[in-house]
Amino acid sequence: MGATTKYFLVPMFLILGISGGIAVGRLLESRESDFGTQLPSVPVSAAALQDTFASTADFAMKSVVHISATGSRYGHSADSVGSGVVLSQEGHIITNNHVVENAGALRVRFVDGREMAANILGTDPETDLAVIKIDVPEGVKIYPAVFGDSDRSRVGDWALAIGSPFGYNHTVTVGVVSAKHRQAQMDLAYQDFIQTDAAINPGNSGGALVNLKGELIGINTAIVSESRRNEGVGLAISSNLVKWVVERLRKDGRVQRGFLGLVPQSVNRDLVEGLRSQEVRSMADFLKVTGLEKPEGAYIARVERGTPAWRAGLRAGDIILEFDGAKVRSSKDIFFKVAEVDPGTKVSVRVIRNREPRSFDVTLAERPGSDFNGRPRR
């Protein structure tokens, strides 16, 4: 009898993930503001790996804070514990939305024991990210994290998770990047997770996943577990997605995303099985019927009436090949590409219909809260 896979979030109840990096040498205190810092790296041998772990942890944990949230849940007062990562000398901190939602009061604690009150600056429930802010006293130095490029992390790279599991602040665990670009059965519209086996437990949520350069490659967010405890499958939101969301939360306090109003499906075996007919019995048949050269693009399963896609003339059965001049390879690809364009922008959408290429100009609307398929929540 098979067990049901369960995903858990975690602010003292939440769960984190991991990400990886390349082993390098001694880490120096060379930091700059926000996202631009470059760190020196000195290649080391395997014999020096222990020292590398220690220096990486010492460097990175200065950017990680313990978060205490006081609020209410289900009508009762409730306190929760999570983690966060410093973004700027001005006091911006990234964490998970589920760590701070419903919080009436927030306090953060640094590794040196300093505590400060914090306020919520902006939230993005669709990625489970939030930015909070502290007022940094004049002359007080804090240490912003250095963002790494999560796309350059490799499966098998070492990774360190730093946070407050079970309230034990600034705990460091070590693992590897187990997989990249994971999605999970969670109520989050936009997902790009790094999977790790670095131990993460309740309280790690919002904390850092760093590579051996000390660069942030993910925000620990969830675990896959039957027991609500670490079982070796943690999920961290990729740093590249985090960076995109953070820039908008810091500017506007919320994330505005473009909206087409259609339901896409990747061109794959599942699509062909769903469309199976006398004409289409295999992928080869599908390519022949549609005129595609190879199985890629985003097949439009449905277009919602009255939406930008409908008004522009896009219809079910079209296959999107390009969006705003960029090639579209899958349904996830078009989903993220649309979201990254500001509402009100006119873009060109190139499709294939009845074996003929066609182009449509679409003016994007602002996307309401929606499910993963891009449908507005009612």
Q: H helices then E strands: how many in the chain?
A: 7, 21
Residues 202, 208, 218, 261: is their CA dihedral positive or negative?
Answer: positive
- C-beta atoms surrounding 360 within 10 Å: 18
Instruction: List the catalytic residue out of 34, 124, 128, 324.
Output: 128
Instruction: List the catalytic residue out of 55, 66, 80, 98.
Output: 98
Q: Are strands 258-259 and 365-366 parallel, antiparallel or unpaired?
A: antiparallel
User: Is 205 a known active-site residue?
Assistant: yes
Is-contact 181 192, C-beta < 8 A? yes
Instruction: List the catalytic residue out of 150, 178, 205, 225.
Output: 205
User: Is 112 a known active-site residue?
Assistant: no
Give the C-alpha separation, 256 to 239, whole Å: 19
DSSP helix/strand/coil, 282: coil
Q: Token digits for 34?
A: 């926000």
Q: What is the DSSP letter of 364?
A: -
Give the C-alpha separation, 198 to 233, whole Å: 8
**Burial letters 316-350, b for 16+ CB under 10 A, else e:** ebbbbbbbbeeebebbbbbbbbbbebeeeeebebb
**Ramachandran region, residue 213 (left: φ > 0; alpha: ψ -120 to 50; beta: rest):** alpha
Give the C-alpha separation, 8 to 368, whole Å: 25
117 CB-near residues (< 8 Å, 6+ apart): 105, 106, 107, 134, 135
Q: Bridge-partner residues for 108, per DSSP?
A: 67, 116
Q: Token digits for 362?
A: 């679409």
DSSP helix/strand/coil, 286: helix
Is-contact 224 235, C-beta < 8 A? yes
Q: Token digits for 56?
A: 């990486």
Give the C-alpha separation, 180 to 209, whole Å: 13
User: Is 170 a known active-site residue?
Assistant: no
260 CB-near residues (< 8 Å, 6+ apart): 307, 308, 309, 314, 334, 338, 349, 362, 364, 374
State the catalytic residues: 98, 128, 205
